[in-house]
Structure 1
Amino acid sequence: MALAVALGCALAVPLRAEEVGRVGVDWTGNDIVIDAFDDPKVQGVTCHVAYFDRSVIDRLKQGNWFEDPSNGAISCERTGPVVLGDIARGPKGESVFSERRSLIFKSLRVTRIYDERAQTLIYLTHAAELVEGSAKMSISTVPLYDGSDVR
């Protein structure tokens, strides 16, 4: 069962991810889930986010019922002609996806940053925690040129 997608910050557009894959990793029922979502402000870009989904058995065994690891991986690709909408163009970018990884304190987020000089969209998946930050991250880039001029 896919976890409900929630807004990570006020700037995020309401977004639902579609579960496209689930791989069992152990006998307790822990899974790696792969969700897909289209960038809400960039037509022609789809991202896939993989994350760990803890089973009921593992939650009971570990004792921390309400928390999942915030590790995640991301890959974003052009899936059609790219049309930039009204996106944030500053170095902090903007949140495009957020999914809770604990009851209150932790979420897995995807932030989009536009590198105007390189004409590339950067998608960063990272943990956001209320109490302390995390170095867990993954990055994917989508060039906005079509590559036909590459020699």
Structure 2
Amino acid sequence: MRKISLNAALGGALVGICLMSSAYAGSEQVGEVSTAFRLLGHNDRVVVEAYDDPRVQGVTCYVSRARTGGVKGTVGLAEDRAEASIACRQVATNLRFPDKLPLQEDVFTERMSLLFKRLHIVRIVDPKRNTLIYLTYSDKLIDGNPQNSITAVPVPTTTLIPVK
């Protein structure tokens, strides 16, 4: 009977949790480019991911961000850089909203490190201009990061945004 060390078991469990949490984030990778060669594991790269807004049917946000490669990055233990860029677009003829849309809502989050860093995409409603604003930023438990990116999706004037 083979014995497994406690460290190996905990490490495997943490890697599994990281992989599962990124799978539930709602993103779909649509492309990537390598930025640095790594002898072992994935190369460092910039990935482009698509996020469909779960409450506003017909809006997709495209986020580009750095992903760390190497052995740590391949198994999900590396901390990715905080920079990200976002562009959201109306991708359907008609937008569909729920009965009431909050004025501000954190619509997507995804881990950028094992425990402490997350990527956020926040939807902000501007009812005066009938526009949806999407903001991306990263936070860190100990010290936040002010780097952010913003985009806006104008809503056709025939469709008013129902807000709380």
Give the alignment's TM-score, normalised by structure 1. Answer: 0.78
Q: Could you say what the CA RMSD is over the residues aligned between the two structures, in angstroms? A: 2.3
Once residues 110 and 83 of structure 1 are traced to their aligned partners in structure 2, the CA distance between those partners, rounded to angstroms, is: 19
Q: Which has the higher strand share?
A: 1
Consecutive unaligned residues of structure 2, counting only runs of 5 or more, are: 1-17, 159-164
Distance 1:99 1:15, change over 3 A: closer
Higher relative contact order, chain-length normalized (CA < 8 Å, sep 6+): 1
How many pairs does the alignment contain?
131
Runs (4+) of structure 1 moved beyond 3 Å? 3-7
Matches within 5 A, 1:67-86: 67-80=79-92, 81-85=94-98, 86=100
The reply to whether residue 66 of structure 1 matches residue 74 of structure 2 is no
Distance 1:74 1:140, change over 3 A: same
Distance 1:4 1:82, change over 3 A: farther
Distance 1:20 1:4, change over 3 A: farther
Letter in 2 for 1:68: D
| Paired residues of 2:84 and 2:148 also in contact (CA < 8 A) | yes
Once residues 111 and 43 of structure 1 are traced to their aligned partners in structure 2, the CA distance between those partners, rounded to angstroms, is: 16
Consecutive unaligned residues of structure 1, counting only runs of 5 or more, are: 8-13, 60-64
Give the alignment's TM-score, normalised by structure 2. Answer: 0.72
* % identical equivalent positions: 34
Residue 58 of structure 1 deviates from its aligned partner by 8.0
Distance 1:32 1:129, change over 3 A: same
Residue 5 of structure 1 deviates from its aligned partner by 7.4
